[in-house]
Amino acid sequence: MSVAILIKKASFSLRGHVVLLQIFCGVPLAVLMIWLNYNEHTLTFLWALWCALVASLSAVVCAVGFWFTFSRRLIRKRKLRQDI
């Protein structure tokens, strides 16, 4: 499955937005946070869980915000153009 098809399918639902942002934002952010703490020698198991939780929740908040501010309006406009 190509990335373009994945983005097209994910752009029509809130669940798709959450999954897409988890893949492209949440996971890399968690990996970066854990790697930076590992390099500083401050990484513990609980801190790694905390970093993963913060990255995951921030991706969900961004996805929900993006869905309600931009995507729903664009989908409505797209449907209106198709109905004409």
pLDDT for 1? 63
pLDDT for 32? 97
By the 8 A CB rule, do 37 and 47 touch?
A: yes
Task: Put residue 64 in one of left, alpha, beta given phi > 0 → left and psi -120 to 50 → alpha.
Answer: alpha
pLDDT for 79? 79
Q: What is the pLDDT along the chain (84 residues), one digit of tens a residue?
A: 677 887 787 888 889 899 999 999 999 999 999 999 999 999 999 999 999 999 999 999 999 999 999 988 888 888 788 876
pLDDT in tens, 39-63: 999 999 999 999 999 999 999 999 9
Residue 7 tokens read as 């983005």
